């Protein structure tokens, strides 16, 4: 996986220079916790988009076993307290769907954006999901 490159410059005192050089050397071979975390966040972002698309397709497929659960999960990410989601229901998911849900959560956590922003018509799409839920799935 090829990461986009950036240039970073900074000024440090002479007594900190050696420590910074050592830290940078470790960084470039992937030995620092920060570097491993940054690589994991990048991978989570890519996987998260694929997983979000998968969960949207499950939510739109009324024949899918996890149709209702996917809608509840997605609505909770968008509307928060208006559509609470019981996390223990995720324990009943198959491995693949569980991993898709956690990938979306990791992506949203690290990117700090709202779930609807990943789609051109995101606001309208989530409003439609909400109406469908209220009309067909709410208790």
Q: How far is CA 95 from CA 56, 91, 100, 101, in A?
A: 17, 9, 9, 10
Helix (H) or strand (E) holding 99: helix 95-111
Q: What is the pLDDT of residues 1-43, one digit of tens each?
A: 566 788 888 888 888 888 888 877 777 776 677 777 777 777 7
Q: What is the pLDDT of residues 74-98, one digit of tens each?
A: 888 877 777 777 888 889 899 999 9
**pTM of the predicted protein model:** 0.67
């Amino acid at each position: 996986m090829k990461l986009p490159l950036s240039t970073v410059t900074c000024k440090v005192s002479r007594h900190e220079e050696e420590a910074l050089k050592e830290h940078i050397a470790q960084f470039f071979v992937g030995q620092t916790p920060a570097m491993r975390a940054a690589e994991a966040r990048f991978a989570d972002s890519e996987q998260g988009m694929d997983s979000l698309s998968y969960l949207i397709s499950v939510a739109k497929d009324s024949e899918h076993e996890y149709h209702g659960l996917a809608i509840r999960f997605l609505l909770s990410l968008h509307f928060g307290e208006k559509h609470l989601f019981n996390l223990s229901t995720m324990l009943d998911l198959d491995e693949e769907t569980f991993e898709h849900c956690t990938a979306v959560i990791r992506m949203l956590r690290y990117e700090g954006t709202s779930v609807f922003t990943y789609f051109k018509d995101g606001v309208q799409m989530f409003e439609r999901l909400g109406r469908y839920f209220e009309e067909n799935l709410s208790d």
